[in-house]
Amino acid sequence: MKELRKFRTGDVEDASRRAAELVGVHAARAGLIDVAYATVDTPVGALILATTRTGLVRLAFPEEGLDHVLEDLAASLSPRVLENPRMTDPVRRELDAYFDGRRRTFRAAIDWSLASGRFSRRVLEETARIPFGSVSTYGDVAGRAGSPRAARAAGNALHDNPVPIVVPCHRVVPSSGGIGKYGGNEWRKAYLLRLEGALAG
């Protein structure tokens, strides 16, 4: 009897998941979604992905909390936020390939709507150009963004990076040595740098 209940519960959960996906697909086709989101399991935790028609707008680490991220997206972009794994699948596939060691660059389009200001966006755009397996300093990134003396401001922009990993702020390190701080916790930064071969051990 217990096994039968488990089987039926699993069936209901699968049916609910499929129904939610169908609702998401129809809503997308009808233009009722402004922001689609999904979660994806990775070696650094279950990441929260959010996309718009323009591109990837948010990638959040699990400790930020799904509810908090969704509330922020609704307040900052649009209240029409809906779970829709299909709309986030292209980014998810790129992340899977990256963590499997099969991808060195991301081709996903970026929606910069959540970049806070012109300088922050320039910093993020310059950071996106740092090659796989390489690192750059905060001062270098600030200089390429047009303000060589604004290393601290560059650090703040990178701390608030709305799409980490895809815009690889983990590749920016202090000129004094070490890997420096990271909005997604230092252990993730070390993991990503090791994955890319930029950090030994």
Residue 41: strand pairing partners: 46
Q: Does 97 participate in catalysis according to the annotation?
A: no
Q: What span, in angstroms and rounded, lies between the C-alpha atoms of 1 and 5? A: 6
For 131, residues 6+ apart whose C-beta sits below 8 A from its C-beta are none
Nearest to 158 by CA among 188, 111, 126: 126
Q: What span, in angstroms and rounded, lies between the C-alpha atoms of 120 and 81? A: 25
Other beta carbons less than 10 A from residue 118's beta carbon: 10
One-character DSSP codes across 143-190: HHTT-TT-HHHHHHHHHT-SSBTTB-GGGEE-TTSS----TT-HHHHH
Residue 128: strand pairing partners: none
Other beta carbons less than 10 A from residue 140's beta carbon: 18
Query: Strand 35-42 relative to strand 81-83: parallel, antiparallel, unpaired?
Result: parallel
Q: Which pair of tokens denotes residue 119? A: 């300088």
Determine which one of 40, 114, 130, 169 is catalytic. 169
The residues annotated as belonging to the active site are 169
